[in-house]
Chain A
Amino acid sequence: MRNIVLGLLLGAAGMFVILRWMPAPAATTTGPAGADLTGTWDRPGAAKESPTGAGFTQNAQARLGILPRQVFTSEEPPMTPWAAAKFAEARKGKDDIYEDGRDELDPSYNCFPPGTPRVFTIPRPFEIRQHPDVVLLLFETYSAMRRIHTDGRGHPDGYPVTWMGHSIGRWEDGTLVADTTLLNDKTWLDALGHPHSDALRVEERFRRVAQDRLEIDFVFDDPKAYIEPWTGKKVYELMPPGFEVMEDYTCDDRLQLGVKR
């Protein structure tokens, strides 16, 4: 009798442990080709950075083989004359090749939203949250967000040109392949000041190469600004539990009642 009671208690405890800790099945992706990219992502080492953001200088990073956060590639993209002139303007007086472009010409410094892909060159984290029909990118920068529709839709006829563009995606072998177009031309492509036109089309391949590592491969296609498509890559690290995306809202230090639109 005692054995039976003990058996029941142990069985209950066992079932409790198993069921309580079993991961709840969450449908996040479309089909077997999908993957779970869920998490809060930031530059490798960001979680350990001091609050003042002290770290290696961009050039030191480059010497270590770490791509500075300002850029997508260490190679110079193949600019058209129009783009080269704009870029030169943005870099006048800059000695360090990885220094941010001139503030007075930088849309982000003038309270413009960062847009994409610029947002990936700003050192703040972002979250990926997903359902089967949409992947959400929630950036700390500017509290910006992107929807990547994975429900099979195309880019709608007559959809307006916007800061974040319109993104559609599909899953291929655990990789989210996204196509973004309809981007306005009011932003820089990166923090150095590489320009783009409203013809820019961006392909991104999001891949979780390890539990704590996300890689994004980019192809930038903009015939008005670049002679041919060119590629870039960003690598992100999963932030530890408790690492919250904070609120960021550009230029809210200059809000003034009475200063109308």
Chain B
Amino acid sequence: MLRLWMQCMLVAGVVLAALPITSLVLAQTPASIPDLSGVWERRGVGTGPEPGLGADGAPAFGFTKEAPPLQPWALEQYNAVRNGPLRNRYDKALDEFDPGLHCFPHGPTRLFTVPWPFELHQFPHVVVLLSEWDHWVRRIYMDGRGHPDGYPVTWMGHSIGKYEDDALVVDTVKINDRAWVDAMGTPHSPDLHVVERFRRVNQETLEGSFLFEDPKAFTRPWTAKKVFRLQPPGRDIMEHLICEDWLEIGKKRQPTIAPSFP
């Protein structure tokens, strides 16, 4: 009787091992994870129909052709930092009002609007984005954790992600509002919530789809798409430090209160 049981279990096990059921169970095995790794950059995307736009229709310094749907205070700030001699409609904001040019870190999304590469590394429980600009490390936790209660607001925010078919889907909160959404000057509040989907549409192209939600800063959520080109082998990420030329022994740390933007 026992032997019959064991024989049945053995047969069942072998049979089921061959069934597709088990591959569903192993939904996140290496074979099914899309390969998004590489050094990615706007270089090679090509220029678009208007000065300042890439061939994908997205501004080099921003996310969308259209101005984002901003709340009145945010629109006022956005216009103020763009009120001056711009090279084209989609140029970055004026340098004198740009925190990024006063040694403030860029936020995680602004790093997608700089003419510098980033490296995407996939590890079993974390995806890491390494930007050349200011050597930032952005961790996207893939191990099923949520955003921890009480997590502080940081420059990079807190990102969690999962794979859905051929895309990496990322959810990010707790981004410091002293950095802009993009280089064009789009402001946000600490409540900014960003959902990104990264897909490799072909060997050379990584497409990022972005959803920006922030009722305090935007009148409604808005979306954008930008593509990046795979850089050739040998295109190494180099070291870069923001404001490196400002460093000087004797310039000590002094707490300051950052004035609000104009």
Enumerate chain A interface residues (CB-CB to B < 8 A). Answer: 3-4, 6-12, 14-16, 19-20, 24-26, 38, 103-105, 107, 109-113, 129, 131, 136, 138, 143-145, 147, 160, 162-164, 186, 242, 245-247, 249, 251-261
Contacts and interface: CB of A to CB of B under 8 A. Distances in A.
B249 A105 contact: yes
Contacts of A24: 28-30, 124
Contacts of A259: 102-103
B83 interface: no
Given A110-B249, A253-B253, A145 B12 contact: no
Contacts of B258: 255-257
Contacts, number: 152
Contact of A138 (B17, B97, B137, B241): B137
A162 B237 CA distance: 13
B259 interface: yes
Given A11-B12, A251-B253, A254-B254, A261 B26 contact: no
Give the interface residue-count category, chain B.
35 or more
Interface string B238-262: 1101010111111111111011010
B245 A261 contact: yes
Given A10-B12, A254-B253, A144 B154 contact: no
Nearest to A250: B253
B156 interface: yes
Interface stretch (B1-9, B184-192, B223-231): B1-9
Interface stretch (B50-58, B110-118, B128-136, B212-220): B128-136
A11 B241 contact: no
Contacts of B155: 247, 249, 252
Nearest to B29: A24
B25 A19 contact: yes
Given A11-B11, A24-B124, A257 B261 contact: yes
Contact of B130 (A145, A162, A246, A251): A145
Interface string B1-37: 0001101111111111100011001101110000000
Which 3 residue pairs spanning A and B have beta carbons closest together?
A7-B8, A11-B12, A11-B13
Contacts of A7: 5, 7-9, 11-12
A25 B261 CA distance: 50
Given A145-B137, A259-B102, A12 B259 contact: no
B121 A129 contact: yes
Contact of B123 (A129, A164, A258): A129
A8 B13 CA distance: 7
A129 B126 contact: yes
B105 A252 contact: yes
B201 interface: no
Contacts of B28: 24
Given A7-B12, A24-B124, A110-B249, A256 B256 contact: yes
Nearest to A103: B252
18 contacts: A4-B8, A6-B8, A12-B21, A19-B17, A19-B26, A38-B123, A104-B250, A111-B247, A113-B241, A129-B126, A131-B121, A136-B121, A136-B128, A164-B239, A245-B139, A252-B104, A253-B255, A257-B259
B8 A11 contact: yes
A147 B145 CA distance: 27
Contacts of B221: none
Given A19-B25, A143-B136, A11 B10 contact: yes
Nearest to A156: B236
